[in-house]
A and B are shown apart, each in its own frame.
Chain A
Amino acid sequence: MSEITEASHGDLLVMLRHAPHGGLWLREALDLALVGAAFGQSVSLLLMGDGVWALLQGQGSGPLGQKGSQSTFEMLEMYDIERLYVDVDSLAARGLTRDDLLLPVIEVSTPELSTVLAGHRQIFNF
């Protein structure tokens, strides 16, 4: 399924497990990722659990005009944040496939999850 080895690693792993729109977790996670990258850290994102909803296509802004996160996700590549890991089981459990997502992702199977975590110097869990 994938190219995940001990060698694929980085300085910072930002894990996102909370759904978008219901709280500030997503915003905080993305801010942290961007700050890290702005300071020259190599940053990866891992979406699991309800965090995978954050990449769903077709999201709008909130009822009070809260900004969506689509444009921020698209901006990640400008910060050289190119490793966007997604837990495949979390996708499947929600009836999603990678075709439902905004951006190309690296799919991670359950046995590979611990490798992704072990491959980063620091882990932040949102």
Chain B
Amino acid sequence: MSRNADFERKELERKFRRQVFHSVFITLTLILSGLLFWKLRSLLLPIMVGALLAYLFRPLKDRFQIPWLHHELRVLTLFAFIGLIIFVGISSLRKQMPNERQKLELQVRLKYKLNEKFQQVVGSKDGSNPVGKMIAKEAGPMMDQINHLLDLTPYEVDLFKRYREGHNGEPPINDRYFDYFQANQTTSDYTAMSRDTAAVGSHAKDEALGGEPKTKKASLMEGLSIWMLCPIIFIFLGFDNGQMRRYFIGLVPNRYFELALTVVDELDDAIGAYLRGTLLECALVGLTLAIGFVLIGIPLSVAIAIGVISGLVNAIPFLGTVIGMVIGLGYALIAESVVPILPGLNANDLAIYVVILVVLAHVLDNVLFQPFVLGSAVNLHPLVVVVAIISGSLLMGVWGMLFAIPSVVVVNTAVQTLFKELKAYRII
């Protein structure tokens, strides 16, 4: 009897020690994780992107089975194949990207066309059109800012003039674009914004572009070296054959073993389905837009570029559609000699077709793509969506906006699954 009592006392003491140890360990882990998280926050994004890619490609890796090939070699073979496809894709895209001369042309065209359209809307400068006057008053400052952004730096002006003569073996710049360039030099401010301020702004821009090339280069190199982490994380997570899951499940107390397995698995299923569904949805929206743009007469390379960007930003609810429309309209404004493939379309109404196309893609996305590929995986309140996007943009800019909704979905699914299973296992 006394031996039993002694054993029970020792067991109680052991239990107390275990609880103290666990509490101290968890607290220290949380503090250290928080500290590391804060100190290494610049690495967070490449790690997240690498992990996300590894997660998205996992089903492909699981299905790619060659019995006689070792796991690591199998994964490397698959990743080499994916890398090759990505490399070929990027190379083809880069060929379609504008070079230095085309960039200058584009900048000049954009500024000229924007001002031309704005002046058409505003009307004559004598103020006879009251609506135009009102628009000029309200939108004038914004137009001025855009103009200052599109201004060529002295170096770029010089470069443009050299390209006009046929610099670097390139054909001389078109007369029409040179006319645009000259017209742009005389573009006046729409508001009473002082020339001094503009000059200061322009000077600041010159400095930023030409004054400190080394700093810019250094920061670019730093960014590139940080992003090198992304493929490394992708490959090493790809090598994982369930060891990480086994390790973390191994840390779970016996009482919660089956619960942990179930929660992790359900979470994995739900989040995987959502992320892969979102990727597919974005790809479908991008493809719809690209096909639509080609049909209304936008060149294939531009249509693909707008489709890719619009497809990517489609992951941001509400804003994705707006960004897609802005890019499409931006191109519609500067587009020249457009020949629509669809019969009966008027090339002068390109902007209207872009609006119709983006609205159509948005409707298709809501009515067909989302229910088909995502089902009811995400039922977030619109307010939650808006708050999440704003918070994401404040915390991490554009990337934050892109990752806001997936993060909310992950947390929401985790909490829901955890509570459901805790109840099923009669723990709460």
A, B in one complex: no
Show the binding face of B for A, using Cβ within 8 Å.
Answer: none
